[in-house]
Structure 1
Amino acid sequence: MLDWEHIFATRSSRMRASEIRELLKLLEQPDIISFAGGIPDPALFPDAEFKTAYNDIFSGPQVNAALQYSVSEGFKPLRDWIVKEVAKIGIDCTADNVFITSGSQQALDYLGKLFLSPKDTALVTWPTYLGALSAFNAYEPNYDNLSVNGNRTPEAYRETAAKLGGDVKFAYLSADFSNPTGETVDKAGREKLLALADELDIAVIEDAAYQHLRYDGEAIAPILAMDIAAKGGIENTRTIYCGSFSKSLAPGLRVGFVIGAMPVIRKLVLMKQAADLHSSTINQIAIEHVASRGFDAQVAKIKKAYSERRDAMLAALEKYMPKNTSWTKPEGGMFVWVTLPEGMDGAELLAKSIATEKVAFVPGRAFYADGSNANTLRMSFSCANAEMIDEGIKRLGRLVANADAEQQEALPII
């Protein structure tokens, strides 16, 4: 067999299989209670609305355009709809500031390609979205821990990056109900982040995949909206907003978008032309049909379902988890982040859990750029009903308690 390794580019050595994508295979096993996949519940998809949309496309004058090549920027009516939608949350832009991607994951890949040269530094939260690390890794960066509380100086970031042989290029974060922790950055934290970015003269990549999934608490303006308000217009901003229809409408159509200043959008369009020409035209048209006819009603439906499941998971954690275990209490999104007793390993716990308790989750280590904090795990409540959540957390709590007891027994007596 041919040895390909010496032919592959050096960047390929940083490509890793996604632990989450592998765990999704467990969803096919009927005896597994899975809290692993951070995916929307297919039972909540607006399938009837999409059936109508595609029927309308194929029976009307749009069919030829829907099946033809299209512009790289994206379907103009969809971009117009996005402009009107984001205006509601303070993002004042035009369709020229909106670029359609094949899911927001493609946006992260393009932005990594646009900004990162080998040895440059990306600032990411500890932990951060695993898919972002996977996208950025191909461009051979270093990572530094982004503190949204402002307890590190711009010079400290700059000096660390210089020692590693590059420059700080951007700060990446999900400010609302982040994947994996479910936590939200408050207004003060967003203001400090923008001040840091100004001092470092870097971009801010705002991953807003869960923007619409707030269940309680007061909404906070997106970082881009705050940047626009402070700078007097989107063309003066350094924030790049990445949105998606995957969590609100349907992920299988792979339609996401980027909003930013024109110099950034123009570069992204050139990348699109070189990579895949344009996102699926027919899927963009279908998304526009469904969104324009009933986006608010769809969001209200999924928020009701997910908020009830979030409440069920928090109640079950309180009921069944050992006292020396802690977890986040998200105001929205799809995730709860659990911190296990010190010394416990989430990956080892998962292996025991699958074998004995038939409960799946995602070990937390993969979400840290430095592979630290093994005693953490991510729990998703989006695809489990209240009964499954209660039973699954009951089993998991029993497993954690037993593992902790075994760990305590193994400690030396002083």
Structure 2
Amino acid sequence: MLNWDHVFATRASRMRASEIRELLKLLDRPEIISFAGGIPDPALFPTSAFEAAYADIFANGQAASALQYSVSEGYLPLRQWLQKELDRLGIACGVDNIFITSGSQQALDYLGKLLLSPRDTALVNWPTYLGALQAFNAYEPTYDQLSFGNRTPDSYRAAADNAGGRVKFAYLSSDFSNPTGQTVTQEERLALLTLADELDVPVIEDAAYQHLRYDGEAIRPILSLDIERHGSIEETRTIYCGSFSKTLAPGLRVGYVVAATPVIRKLVLMKQAADLHSSSINQIAITHVAERHFDQQVAKIKAAYSARRDAMLAALAAHMPAGTSWTEPQGGMFIWVTLPEGLDGTELLARSVETEKVAFVPGQAFFADRSGTNTLRLSFSCANEAMIAEGIKRLGRLIAASLRVAA
């Protein structure tokens, strides 16, 4: 029998199962109240709009092109709609600056492949999006903690040199990040651009939750600030990754990258070698729905998710024992909980599923160095207010009991 471990590339050793994907299996157990999966509520999908969109494709003569091979850059009318939407966000660009991917996760994988050589350094937050770590891990980088104003460019260079490579990029989720729900301030965004200029590296801006702001003043995307600083998108170093997964539907796997054309040209070549192009019919359907329903759909999900966020924050305040703290996000899908010292999120999850029938994601999964053992991520997107109140009550009871045992 072939020894597969002997023939796998060295990068295969960096590939790990997603703790979150495994936890999603708990959603099939009706007795579990799950705050684990950071996924949209399917009850809020614009199902009838997509039903009409696919019917239109087959009724108006688009079937041949929808079912055929297409250009790697992406469906032109979709990129034209995105150009207008990006302009509303302060990102002035042309259609040639927009590239369609199979979800923003594919964008992260392509960018890791494009930018990272083994032992190069990626600057990421502590904690950061687990999917980004999984995408980048295949290209065998090292990680360093991205901080705003606390370190000099030379300290990053020295650490990267000691690891055997160079600093290649800074990656961050700018608004209502997964997992913490926190937003990068405008001052921090500007400081990051200054750091990136001094290091001469790109900034990868993950904007998956850009449209899910429930309160507070909107902050301009990093790419918008970069364009203002340098005069044109062609002079910028920011690579903006967006998605329709959190606004319209994740199952269609339609995301996009916005960047200077030298980056887009390389990504197009990578897509030609990987999967040729994203699904034609799904891109056309997304265009139909976005053109007719995008603002209405965003308003609907914002109303639902903001009420659930408020319910979770109220329940945390009512039921969490002293010594427990949490973020208060202005949007997105997540609240980040820091447990009292001595408690372990992974151990707590095992007891929670067994005794209280509540699921969440242990925070350690989101740290490149596997620290953060006393943290956890809660998602409020797929639970109604009554489930949230009951689930947080149970979780608070378990944490309090665990503290008594530890004492």
Structure-2-length-normalised TM-score? 1.00
Paired with 2:3 and 2:234, the residues of 1 have a C-alpha distance of: 49
> How far 1:402 moved relative to its partner?
0.5
User: Secondary structure at 1:6's aligned position in 2?
Assistant: helix
Paired with 1:4 and 1:346, the residues of 2 have a C-alpha distance of: 34
Aligned residues between the structures? 407
Q: Give the aligned CA root-mean-square deviation in angstroms.
A: 0.4
The amino acid across from 1:396 in the alignment is L
Deviations, residues 74-132 of structure 1 (Å, cap 9, x unaligned): 00000000000010010000000000000000000000000000000000000000000
Task: Give the unaligned 5+ runs of structure 1.
Answer: 409-414
Tell me which residue corresponds to 1:174.
173
User: Secondary structure at 2:4's aligned position in 1?
Assistant: coil
Q: State whether structure 2 residue 335 is matched by structure 1 residue 336.
A: yes
Tell me which residue corresponds to 1:102.
102
The amino acid across from 1:292 in the alignment is E
Tell me which residue corresponds to 1:40.
40
The amino acid across from 2:371 in the alignment is S
User: Secondary structure at 1:352's aligned position in 2?
Assistant: helix
Tell me which residue corresponds to 1:60.
60
Tell me which residue corresponds to 1:77.
77
Tell me which residue corresponds to 2:398.
399
Tell me which residue corresponds to 1:158.
157
Task: Give the unaligned 5+ runs of structure 2.
Answer: none
Paired with 1:343 and 1:165, the residues of 2 have a C-alpha distance of: 35
Tell me which residue corresponds to 1:49.
49
Tell me which residue corresponds to 1:313.
312
Paired with 1:252 and 1:89, the residues of 2 have a C-alpha distance of: 25
Paired with 1:308 and 1:323, the residues of 2 have a C-alpha distance of: 25
User: Secondary structure at 2:248's aligned position in 1?
Assistant: coil
> How far 1:373 moved relative to its partner?
1.1
Tell me which residue corresponds to 1:14.
14
User: Secondary structure at 2:13's aligned position in 1?
Assistant: helix
The amino acid across from 2:42 in the alignment is P
Paired with 1:61 and 1:233, the residues of 2 have a C-alpha distance of: 39
> How far 1:2 moved relative to its partner?
2.8
The amino acid across from 2:153 in the alignment is P
Paired with 2:372 and 2:274, the residues of 1 have a C-alpha distance of: 36
User: Secondary structure at 1:400's aligned position in 2?
Assistant: helix
User: Secondary structure at 1:240's aligned position in 2?
Assistant: strand
Residues 287-366 of structure 1 aligned to structure 2 (within 5 Å)? 287-366=286-365
Deviations, residues 149-179 of structure 1 (Å, cap 9, x unaligned): 2111111000000000000000000010000
Deviations, residues 35-85 of structure 1 (Å, cap 9, x unaligned): 000000000000000000000001112110000000000000000000000
Tell me which residue corresponds to 2:121.
121
Tell me which residue corresponds to 2:236.
237
User: Secondary structure at 2:251's aligned position in 1?
Assistant: helix
> How far 1:323 moved relative to its partner?
1.2
Tell me which residue corresponds to 1:412.
none
Tell me which residue corresponds to 1:193.
192
User: Secondary structure at 2:335's aligned position in 1?
Assistant: strand
Paired with 1:56 and 1:89, the residues of 2 have a C-alpha distance of: 30
> How far 1:300 moved relative to its partner?
0.1
Paired with 1:367 and 1:404, the residues of 2 have a C-alpha distance of: 24
Paired with 1:241 and 1:150, the residues of 2 have a C-alpha distance of: 22
The amino acid across from 2:313 in the alignment is L
